[in-house]
Amino acid sequence: MINEAVYTLYEGVGSVESIDTAMRLGANHPMDPLQLADFIGLDVCLAVTQILHDGLADSKYRPCPLLVKYVEAG
């Protein structure tokens, strides 16, 4: 869910606030996906998506370039 939320931001579909609000209110998530990513750590989120992508060979788990950029920027 986190990688998809970052893709939504990357593609300009929504802002951080609109993505988080939609998931909190629309899907009844107790913690917004981008807030959760910040809590977990973007480096950990990237590592998990890379492991899923490499292990399952499924393009839907390809890490969002924006997530990669944020992790590389520190």
pLDDT tens-place string over residues 21-70: 999 899 988 889 999 999 999 999 999 999 999 999 999 899 999 999 99
| Residues 26/1, Cβ–Cβ less than 8 Å | no
The confidence score (pLDDT) of residue 24 equals 87
Q: Summarize the confidence of residues 8-23 as an average pLDDT.
A: 94
pTM above threshold 0.85: yes
The confidence score (pLDDT) of residue 74 equals 86
Q: Summarize the confidence of residues 1-30 as an average pLDDT.
A: 92
Q: How far apart are CA 41 and CA 45, in angstroms?
A: 6
Local structure of residue 25 (DSSP, 8 states): I
What are the structural domains, with CATH classification, of the chain?
2-73 (1.10.1040.50)
